[in-house]
Amino acid sequence: MRTSLHRLFVMPIGAALTAVLLVLLATQIASSQPPPTTITFSVFPPPPTAITPGEVETFVWQIVPATTPVSVTLTIFDLDNSVLIEQRNFPGSSGLVLTQTYTLPLTYTLPFGVPFERYRARVSYYSDEVGLETSAESIFWVTQDTGNIEVIKFNDRDGDGIRDPGDQGVADVRFGLTIQAQTLFRRTDAAGQIVWTTVPIGTYTVTEEVPPGWVATTPSVLTPTVTANLTTTLLFGDRITPGALEAFAYVDTNGNGVQDAGEGPYAGGAT
List, in order of start, the domains of the chain with CATH numbers: 38-142 (2.60.40.1930), 146-240 (2.60.40.10)
pLDDT per residue as tens digits for the range 131-140: 999 999 999 9
pTM of the model: 0.75
Do 213 and 244 form a contact (C-beta atoms < 8 A)?
Answer: yes
Q: What is the mean pLDDT of residues 221-234?
A: 98
Q: What is the mean pLDDT of residues 153-168?
A: 94
**β-sheet bridge partners, residue 221:** 207
pLDDT confidence tier of residue 88, bands split at 50, 70 and 90: very high
Q: Chain-wide mean pLDDT for the chain?
A: 88
pLDDT at 260 over 50: yes
pLDDT at 5 over 50: no
pLDDT confidence tier of residue 35, bands split at 50, 70 and 90: confident
pLDDT at 8 over 50: no
pLDDT at 71: 98
pLDDT at 72 over 80: yes
pLDDT at 135: 96
Chain centroid offset of residue 140 CA: 13
Q: Pick from 120, 182, 155: which is nearest to 246 by CA?
A: 155
Q: What is the mean pLDDT of residues 34-52?
A: 94
